[in-house]
Structure 1
Amino acid sequence: MVNVSIARRYARAILDVAAEGNRTDAVAEQLNAFAAVVGKSADLSDVLLNPAYSRAQRSSVVEALLQAMPAPAEPALANAVRLLVDRNRLGYLPDIARLYRDMADARAGRVRGQVTSAVPLSADAVAQLQQSLQQLTQRNVVLETKVDPALLGGVAAQVGGTLYDGSLRTQLEQMRRELK
């Protein structure tokens, strides 16, 4: 994380503009996708972040990326990315995307969580777990799933800063400590 205060200012500004048009979630989706594309390609990152390339070259690359998006780019996103190019702040893009998502979630009353299981969970199991976590936290929970065979069985869910651990590995470890 380079400088969070700069990234936070840009994220807040993008959120304010997107909220005016009720496009907060659409901008979040596109901003995350844009940051992921830039982050995955070393050549693209080099062109956009290397000061050896002129601002005009970076600007033309960004315009091409905006045109290549599957859906037309949201105006708030397009203008923000152009501003980042003009001010040589594209290096902050991953932090801006992360902070924007967090701010948008807070504004919408959502909290993100991660469910880790030993085997892939069915869609019904994820939906049921999401419902249970929503009742526990009294907030709308957005879950992402992860598979970790080291758990042996059960699930562990982290929502916000709270870990709900129902994994077999943890239960066996607790039993081992009690038996000692």
Structure 2
Amino acid sequence: MSRDAAVAKRYAKALFEVAEKQQVVSEVEEQLKLVVQALEQDADVQKFLSLPSIDPASKIAVLKTAFGDRVSALVINTLEILITRRRQDVIADVYAAYTKVAGESLGQAHATVYTAHALSDEELAGVAAQFGQITGKTIIAQQIVEPALLGGVQVRIGDRLYDGSLSGKLERLQKSFKI
């Protein structure tokens, strides 16, 4: 685990503990997602936050103004700590670690479903339900269309990959011939 990932995980766990006490776990997750999306969409903001010549208090004031009442004091305080400690580069990592910690605590898991063609909402929900039975967790599925799969589906839940794709089956078949 990289140093930044370890740092992000510590911040995420601390934020989760406070959010859990205040019973705002999912709200904090949505707010962090909003912050990360806003930062990723604007390279100028990223550059502004990374400039060491700008006082951290000024950076925090800009963020407070930009997000206004869409982000709770809890999230703003976390951003303030990260920026004051010059850790603004791990904000996205904190969000990723937070979703993982929150999901584990709530019995949820995030899954990325790779398919050759787009699935309907009902089909995606069916895949999520099926993997929910396998893992014993509520699956929150996100779909990515990957034409190279040819057919079938790959599902990544955490660090585990379930490969039922046609390209994966062909690759396994090819390896079996080489043995």
Q: Same fold (TM over 0.5)?
A: yes
Identical-residue share of aligned pairs (%): 28
Tell me the TM-score normalized by structure 2: 0.88
Alignment of 1:93-172 (within 5 A): 93-172=91-170
1:46 is aligned to 47
Tell me the TM-score normalized by structure 1: 0.88
Name the SS for the 1:158 alignment partner.
Answer: strand
1:32 is aligned to 33
Q: What are the superposed Cα offsets for residues 123-164 of structure 1, whole Å, 9 maximum, x if unpaired? A: 111111111111111111111111011111111112233322
| 8 Å CA contact 2:114, 2:145 repeated in 1 | yes
Instruction: Tell me, in whole angstroms, the C-alpha distance in 2 between the residues paired with 1:177 and 1:84.
Output: 48
Name the SS for the 1:141 alignment partner.
Answer: strand
Name the SS for the 1:3 alignment partner.
Answer: helix
Deviation at 1:178, TM superposition (A): 4.8
Deviation at 1:121, TM superposition (A): 0.4
| 8 Å CA contact 2:31, 2:70 repeated in 1 | no
In structure 2, runs of 5+ residues without a counterpart are: none
Instruction: Tell me, in whole angstroms, the C-alpha distance in 2 between the residues paired with 1:121 and 1:175.
Output: 26
In structure 1, runs of 5+ residues without a counterpart are: none
Name the SS for the 2:142 alignment partner.
Answer: strand
Cα 1:178/1:58, change in 2 over 3 Å: closer
What is the CA RMSD across the aligned residues, in angstroms? 1.9
Runs of 4 or more consecutive aligned structure 1 residues displaced over 6 Å after TM superposition: none
| 8 Å CA contact 1:130, 1:141 repeated in 2 | yes
Q: What are the superposed Cα offsets for residues 92-132 of structure 1, whole Å, 9 maximum, x if unpaired? A: 21121111111111111111211111100011111111111
| Count of paired positions | 177
